[in-house]
Amino acid sequence: MSASDTATTERDDTLTSVNPATGEVLATYRIDDEDAVQAAVVKARTAAATWGTLSYDERKKHLLRWASKLVEKSDEFCELIHAENGKPRDDAYLELMLALEHITWAAKNAEKVLKPKKVSPGALMANFAAYLEQRPLGVIGVIGPWNYPVYTPNGSIAYALAAGNAVVFKPSEFSTGIGNFFTTAFTEANPGLPDGVFTTVNGYGVTGAALVRSGVDKIAFTGSTATGKKIMAAASDTLTPVLLECGGKDAVIVAADGDIKAAADAVAWGATGNSGQTCAGVERVYVDKSVAPEFIAEVKRILTDVKPGSDDKAAYGPMTMPSQIDIVRRHIEDALKNGGKAVLGGVESIKGPFIEPVVIVDADESSEAVTEETFGPTVTIRTVEGIDEAVRLTNANKYGLGSAVYSRKHGLEIARRLKVGATSVNSVLGFAAISALPFGGVGDSGIGRIHGAPGMLEFSRPHSIAVQRFTIPGMALLSYSRTDSTMKLLRKLVPLLHGRHK
Ligand code: NAD
């Protein structure tokens, strides 16, 4: 799917933000064209020269002040997230809380991850001192999606800033107000910083494409796989490195010894929370045949009472992007045509911008509801003969983002067999709330990682420094003054160092 195909309301130079539940116009923004994007990047590059040379401690203080400003403005911010994205206010608060955890983790751990390290030069270079140092890249272009409009881009933004880079952020056209609020809070919290440490450019895919071509030092993209591929192709012109956080089709494996009630509870929430619009949401379940009837009945029981809406009692909100509703409908129809049986809901569950939960059992593995990202409050459940089959089917998908395993005794063992970026054992999405754990996928789910130490390293370049401290007479290896006796000595040393393992 692609948000850029399905803009809200577009005039030549403006973008209109609309409440997805009511259609109410919330605000209008000027679209940043190629020149405006260039100007933002130039300003960011100037700001990076100051920001990048601050000490880790100074940057930490600025980032923590930003976090505190977001807490101070959290009521206003959550109201805006609710209005522009549609998700319930409590879910907005939860999303903000997770983003704050990451800002704080990045601020407090940047020095530990990035500080210069002295490494061993090895026996043959013993007269050298070797230093591995990390430098900021410069300016990072961050392009974000709308489904978690704060948490998701923040996984790049907070870590890039903590590593000493300036950031130019292009929020999704469906969450422009949220993106600008996030940036403004940074500026308000840090009035003494130069303009451009963290700024926003607004617009549709065209503005994002201009950011890719703008000469930034890295693009950190979160969004659909289709857009990720376009960005990687465009970035190849300038060899601009890319971090791609793309779609998913996450599976949950429920083993015979799993806690069935806990698994059903987690699947019900993981599949429908945020209207199913979660990159690492639950889309497929493989359940052992010995516990399948009990598990399916429990999922159905829980979801029968789960209703979408925009009032305070609603479990989740509307579909944020209107075009996604057609994809959800197509996947339900295709699953039902290909052997699937709806045990809860069906196409009739689609009611305007809201979709009630849909549970489909035993659809063919080749149906679109099993192979493609649905991104709606639906889930397919397949009964399997045992763990080997569950692992094989989980790994057969082109996506490999998150996953979960429910098993009392074999959770870790099963998790280690999965070809994915992350797995929660006896929970869903647990990995996404632990700041130290990197997040990202394999295959069509993307390239690179956000969060944790690997997510920090994404926004720095290693700089290797080798210092010759003294010369060893007769051992000038990297010189024309090398002698025959040096080579004789080397021919004795090398077998001792590397030739003893038979
Ligand atoms: P999308 O690909 O339509 O849009 C994402 C962003 O890319 C938007 O800001 C859009 O304006 C921009 N864009 C569009 N075309 C562009 C181009 N040619 N060049 C540069 N930028 C361009 O995705 P979406 O609908 O906003 O987000 C939903 C998708 O994001 C889902 O597939 C979901 O799984 C994925 N997602 C992944 C993660 C993750 O961490 N892996 C997290 C959240 C969402």
The pLDDT confidence band at residue 2, using thresholds 50, 70 and 90, is very low
Place of tokens 């990297």: 478
Residue 172 alpha carbon to ligand 1 centre in Å:
7
Is 85 domain-assigned?
yes
237, 308: one domain: no
How many CB atoms neighbour CB 162 within 10 A? 29
* 6 has a pLDDT exceeding 60: no
Farthest-apart Cα atoms in the chain, separation: 86
Residue 469 lies in a domain: no
Give the containing element (helix H, strand E) for 341.
strand 341-344
Residues 43 and 142 in one domain: yes
Distance (Å) from CA 32 to ligand 1 centroid? 18
Which residue range forms the structural domain that includes residue 484? 475-502
Same domain for 199 and 339? no
CA–CA dist 236, 143 (Å, integer)? 17
CATH at 405: 3.40.309.10
* Same-domain check for residues 374 and 417: yes
What number does the ligand 1 atom closest to the CA of 173 have?
11
Candidate from 143, 176, 277 with most ligand 1 atoms within 8 A of CB, to mutate: 143
Cβ(146) – ligand 1 distance below 6 Å: yes
pLDDT surpassing 50 at residue 133: yes
Q: Is residue 441 part of a domain?
A: no
**Banded pLDDT at 296 (limits 50, 70, 90):** very high
Beta carbons of 451 and 438 less than 8 angstroms apart: yes
Q: Which atom of ligand 1 is nearest to the CA of 4?
A: 14
CB 463 within 8 A of CB 134: yes
Write out the catalytic residue numbers.
Answer: 245, 279
Asked whether the beta carbons of 141 and 214 are under 8 A apart, the reply is yes
The reply to whether 366 falls in a domain is: yes
Please tell me if the CB atom of residue 318 comes closer than 6 angstroms to any atom of ligand 1. Answer: no
Assess contact for 146 and 92: CB atoms under 8 A: no
Give the pLDDT score at 477.
85
Q: Is 245 near ligand 1, meaning CB less than 6 Å away?
A: yes
| pLDDT class of 312 with cuts at 50, 70, 90 | confident
Whichever domain contains 136, its CATH number is 3.40.605.10
Residues 311 and 415 in one domain: yes
Three-state DSSP string of 194-245: CCCCEEECCCCHHHHHHHHCCCCCEEEEECCHHHHHHHHHHHHHHCCCEEEE
In a shared domain, residues 209 and 351: no
What tens digit of pLDDT does each residue of 320-356 get?
888 999 999 999 999 999 999 999 999 999 998 999 9
Indicate the length of the chain as a whole number: 502
194 & 238 share domain: yes
State the Cα–Cα distance between residues 321 and 51, nearest whole angstrom.
36
Which atom of ligand 1 has the smallest separation from the CA of 211?
20
Alpha-carbon distance of 201 to 188, in angstroms, equals 18
CA of 5 to the centre of ligand 1 (A): 11
**445 belongs to a structural domain:** no
Note the pLDDT tens digit of each residue in 68-125: 999 999 999 999 999 999 999 999 999 999 999 999 999 999 999 999 999 999 988 9
Query: By the 8 A CB rule, do 2 and 227 touch?
Result: yes
Question: Which of the four pLDDT bands, split at 50, 70 and 90, describes residue 3?
Answer: very low
Number of domains composing the chain: 3
191 shares a domain with 292: no
Q: Global pTM? A: 0.95
In what order do the strands lie in the sheet containing 128-136? 117-119, 128-136, 460-468
Q: Is residue 359 part of a domain?
A: yes
Residue 11: the pLDDT is 55
Residues 413 and 331 in one domain: yes
In a domain, 442, yes or no: no
Let me know if residue 466 belongs to a domain. Answer: no
Enter the DSSP assignment of 308: B
Task: Say if residues 176 and 150 touch (Cβ distance below 8 Å).
Answer: no
Q: What is the pLDDT of residue 290?
A: 98
DSSP string, 450-485: BSHHHHHHTTEEEEEEEEE--PPTT--TTSTT--HH
45 in the same domain as 81: yes
